[in-house]
Structure 1
Amino acid sequence: MTRYGDRKAVVIGGTGGLGLAVSKRLVEGGAKILLTGHAPARAAAELGSCAQVIGPDPADPAAVAALALTVEIELGRIDYLFLPTGRSTALALLPALKDGGAVVFTTSRTLPALRALAAELAAHGARGIRVNAVAPDCPGAARTEAAARAALFLAADAPYTTGAQLPVATGPAPHRLQERTGVRSHEQHHLPPEAPSPNLRTHP
């Protein structure tokens, strides 16, 4: 079985930058995905038939509601939700997430904000859904690839980690990811072999 062969995901902002890098890795791993973004033609050409591109990112409540309906019709229940920001979008798509699914913000968020959103999702009956974020130190192709690996690690390989933010730093020194705070994180995890060798620290 391929890495994500039985998985379904939604990627908001998935037609460029970090979102596109995440989308490519999901498709390469066999996942079925639905994504939004402002360069749908480019993404459709690069990702092929396993990805459905439905247009720009949702910008208002009506668009968010329409996206939630589309996800329900096209994918049913999903395993992962990746998005750059948007509490309302996360909450609207919450019913589509499977028990134990994952929300990963692909932009820097403060740890208090992550904890607050994780608590809010739990209050809405989140069924063990985890909320984490990756925080690239600055733009760049190498950072984008490292951040994509980190985002997928949080989604697929860190089942006991929620409310965490992974800083992604690249440069002349070896790539490193550190989990500064792991809420309800009980074990050390490792990225897939192709990832840079990170030091991931978890704290009780």
Structure 2
Amino acid sequence: MTDHADKRAVIVGGTHGIGLATAKLLRAGGAEVLVTGRDPGNAAAARRELGDRVLQSDLADLAAIEALLDPVRARLEWIDLLFINAGVAELEPFDRVTAASYDRTFAVNTRGAFFAAQRLAPLVRAGGSIVFTTSIASTSGTPGMAVYSASKAALGAFARVMAAELLPRGVRVNTVSPGFIRTPTMGTASSTPDERAAFEREGDAITPMGRIGTPEEVARAVVFLAFAATFTTGSELYVDGGLGQQLSPPQEHGDMSSGT
């Protein structure tokens, strides 16, 4: 399969979960892919699958973002897809949020994502695309996720403005908004195995499609926005099994066409 043989992509936050699944999907289609990640263990594991196309970089560190420019230029020269996927989440009721935990979340999810896009966007060529990972938490009012939700909502606002500002260059900007996705951390790196198992059970129970999603399903949505959705910019694509749309599955054996 060589659907993307002429494409070049950078995935910020690509060493595990949704980012890694997207990298593997693109590589299977023949694309050149460069991924970044903060955690040394995840970066080492990703190198076993992706080779030397893995860079260790901390999105919360503006100097580290600046330092990405030279290796990206040297290895890829230009970008067709910039996927800003890195993020952190801490489950904290709003009355227990500290200034430190607040700043940690916004430093990565919002400030880091914004400046990574700002610095790397000049390398995205005409016809290319930027995709951000947001979250249905930004509109769901989920208890314990006040700061995370706000950080992702702000990122969505940034993306819409970037979409308008990059129109003259022919660069599209969209967001993908996942629901419950079966990743190694279930979206919260600080959670315990028991908590992650509980998240999975909750996701299966409340998602209208009756199950949580996979990283590969989100990856396919990202690649769609990047290369197939050529008349789409400033949009948010939900990959959440209907959760964010408040869908209700039909009654089993019910007749939906009439009241009888």
Question: Does the alignment pair 1:54 with 2:99?
Answer: no
Q: Structure 2 CA distance, aligned partners of 1:11 and 1:67?
A: 12
2:178 is aligned to 136
C-alpha contact 1:35 1:53 (8 A) present in aligned 2: yes
Question: Larger RCO: Structure 1 or Structure 2 (Cα < 8 Å, ≥ 6 residues apart)?
Answer: 2
Which of 119, 143, 146 does residue 217 from structure 2 map onto? 146
Q: Structure 2 CA distance, aligned partners of 1:71 and 1:19?
A: 17
2:65 is aligned to 64
2:159 is aligned to 114
Residues 14 and 82 (structure 1), Cα distance of their counterparts in 2 relative to 1, 3 Å cut: same
2:25 is aligned to 25
Runs of 5+ unmatched residues, structure 1? 179-204
Residues 62 and 25 (structure 1), Cα distance of their counterparts in 2 relative to 1, 3 Å cut: same
Aligned-pair identity in percent equals 44
Alpha-carbon shift at residue 33 of structure 1 (Å): 1.0
Q: Structure 1 CA distance, aligned partners of 2:175 and 2:226?
A: 10
Query: With structure 1 as the length reference, what TM-score do the two structures score?
Result: 0.75
Over the residues paired in the alignment, what is the CA RMSD in angstroms? 2.3
C-alpha contact 1:19 1:106 (8 A) present in aligned 2: no
Q: Structure 2 CA distance, aligned partners of 1:57 and 1:21?
A: 20
1:42 is aligned to 45
* Number of equivalent positions: 169
Question: Does the alignment pair 1:159 with 2:204?
Answer: no
C-alpha contact 2:174 2:235 (8 A) present in aligned 1: yes
Residues 65 and 113 (structure 1), Cα distance of their counterparts in 2 relative to 1, 3 Å cut: closer
Alpha-carbon shift at residue 106 of structure 1 (Å): 2.2
C-alpha contact 2:36 2:57 (8 A) present in aligned 1: yes
Residues 169 and 115 (structure 1), Cα distance of their counterparts in 2 relative to 1, 3 Å cut: same
C-alpha contact 1:13 1:57 (8 A) present in aligned 2: no
1:87 is aligned to 114
Whichever of the two has the greater Rg, that structure is 2
Runs of 5+ unmatched residues, structure 2? 86-108, 136-151, 184-212, 246-260
Q: Which has the higher helix share?
A: 2
Amino acid at match of 2:181: P
